[in-house]
Amino acid sequence: MYVCLCTGVTDGQIRDAIYEGCCSYKDVRNTLGVGTQCGKCACLAKEVVRETLTKLQTAQAALPYPVEFTAA
């Protein structure tokens, strides 16, 4: 479904952006431009981001050996 009509961003594009490395609504906004025009979509976009990040965290917590990230 379309989340942002001004820029034509869908919920699937928001999820894809998170799967590709965006870690917050701010990252998604900077990457996709969602919420940068009229701002009416911000609440829905934040909800999609929050739900997707929660699902990712839950999936990672379910791993028998959680992946650890180390700074290079």
39 within domain boundaries: yes
**Arithmetic mean of pLDDT over the chain:** 90
Q: Is residue 72 part of a domain?
A: no
At residue 72, the pLDDT reads 59
3 three-state secondary structure: strand
- Which pLDDT value is given to residue 59? 84
Each residue's pLDDT tens digit, 21-54:
999 999 999 999 999 999 999 999 999 999 999 9
Total of domains in the chain: 1
Q: Is residue 71 part of a domain?
A: no
Contact 34, 41 (CB under 8 A): yes
Q: What is the pTM assigned to this prediction?
A: 0.82
SS (H, E, C) 41-72: CHHHHHHHHHHHHHHHHHHHHCCCCCCCCCCC
Res 34: pLDDT? 96
What CATH number is given to the structural domain containing 48?
1.10.10.1100
The owner of tokens 């050996």 is 65
pLDDT of residue 62 exceeding 80: no
Residue 39 and residue 4 in contact, taking contact as beta carbons nearer than 8 Å: no
Maximum C-alpha span of the chain: 44
Q: Which pLDDT belongs to residue 61?
A: 75
